[in-house]
């Protein structure tokens, strides 16, 4: 097999993207369609999937919309079976849907913890479990891409449950990679940094001051990332181009995790020598 740009081509593949209605999920679904894939776009009941569906069909690809609450773990296997009956084999799974809440460690309730884990961890695992079983049965060298976070690698105050959920996604993904490798199926994570979406829309904090602090903390020029900044990583991991990449994470964070502390801001200004 040669390596050329056609190895990124997803024509004829079917991709499932959860949380596809907005934010990163919408960019992922649209990006996969741009690479040639047809898309199953999933989001919570009551959430409008028509903008993402329009973006996909505008590119000449099919979009199959599903209103499904991923917190309903028991229903996942049956829903995946229905999908396969309706649309045939799934080649790419993007477990993107996730929820976050900002709470002190002592404010987290048992019910709140479980609710977050159901979407961020249980759904990710059980969706991958059933889809991987179908991939094996169908002889598909599939791709599983789970969206974790920089918070799955380094903690952040006020997000104990979220951090724990994303850490779990990291290790469950490596576990899947180990078990699915013999079937030619890869499993990886994308670990985004600070991406401008609505995920923290209800966080009770001084947004302006917080975002300004982050802007100064991100090494790469431009500060916060956009959902579109994460699509290249997905196309690598979802396509033949990423065929030998499994069990790892791709951090897309503008260099945040690379820099312990923004020391540069306390140094004299850069003076080039050329």
Ligand X SMILES: NC(=O)c1ccc[n+]([C@@H]2O[C@H](COP(=O)([O-])OP(=O)(O)OC[C@H]3O[C@@H](n4cnc5c(N)ncnc54)[C@H](O)[C@@H]3O)[C@@H](O)[C@H]2O)c1
Residues in contact with ligand X by CB under 6 A are: 18-19, 21-25, 43-44, 47, 69-71, 96-100, 119, 147, 149, 192, 194-195, 197-199
Q: Which of 7, 5, 3, 31 shows the shortest CA–CA distance to 17?
A: 31
Q: Which is nearer to ligand X, 97 or 172 (CB)?
A: 97
Shortest distance in whole angstroms from residue 35 CB to ligand X: 19
Shortest distance in whole angstroms from residue 102 CB to ligand X: 13
The structure tokens 């309706």 sit at 86
Shortest distance in whole angstroms from residue 165 CB to ligand X: 8
Q: Which of 95, 91, 256 shows the shortest CA–CA distance to 188?
A: 95
Strand partners, 168: none
Shortest distance in whole angstroms from residue 53 CB to ligand X: 13
Shortest distance in whole angstroms from residue 258 CB to ligand X: 16
Q: Which of 46, 59, 69, 72 shows the shortest CA–CA distance to 15?
A: 59
Q: Which is nearer to ligand X, 45 or 272 (CB)?
A: 45
Q: Which is nearer to ligand X, 20 or 135 (CB)?
A: 20
- Distance of alpha carbon 108 from alpha carbon 91, whole angstroms: 37
Q: Which is nearer to ligand X, 60 or 205 (CB)?
A: 205
> Could you tell me the two tokens for 119?
């979407």
Q: Which residues are catalytic?
A: 162
Residue 47: Cβ within 10 Å count: 12
Q: Which is nearer to ligand X, 33 or 123 (CB)?
A: 123
């Amino acid at each position: 097999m040669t390596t050329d740009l056609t190895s990124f081509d997803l024509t004829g593949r079917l991709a499932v993207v959860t949380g596809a209605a907005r934010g990163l999920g919408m960019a992922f679904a649209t990006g996969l369609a741009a690479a040639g894939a047809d898309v199953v776009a999933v989001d919570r009941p009551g959430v409008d999937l028509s903008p993402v569906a329009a973006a996909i069909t505008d590119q000449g690809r099919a979009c199959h919309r599903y209103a499904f609450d991923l917190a309903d773990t028991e229903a996942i296997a049956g829903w995946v079976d229905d999908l396969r009956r309706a649309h045939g084999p799934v080649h790419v799974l993007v477990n993107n849907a996730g929820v976050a809440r900002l709470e002190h460690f002592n404010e987290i309730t048992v019910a709140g913890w479980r609710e977050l884990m159901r979407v961020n961890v249980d759904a990710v695992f059980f969706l991958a479990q059933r889809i991987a079983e179908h991939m094996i049965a169908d002889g598909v060298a599939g791709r599983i891409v789970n969206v974790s976070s920089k918070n799955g690698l380094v903690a952040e105050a006020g997000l104990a449950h979220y951090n724990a959920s994303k850490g779990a996604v990291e290790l469950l993904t490596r576990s899947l990679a180990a078990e699915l490798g013999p079937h030619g199926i890869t499993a990886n994570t994308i670990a985004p940094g600070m991406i401008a979406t609505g995920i923290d829309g209800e966080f009770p904090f001084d947004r302006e001051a917080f975002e300004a602090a982050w802007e100064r903390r991100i090494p790469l020029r431009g500060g916060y990332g956009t959902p579109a900044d994460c699509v290249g990583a997905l196309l690598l991991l979802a396509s033949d181009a990423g065929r030998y990449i499994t069990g790892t994470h791709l951090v897309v964070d503008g260099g945040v995790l690379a820099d312990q502390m923004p020391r540069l801001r306390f140094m004299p200004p850069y003076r080039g020598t050329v």
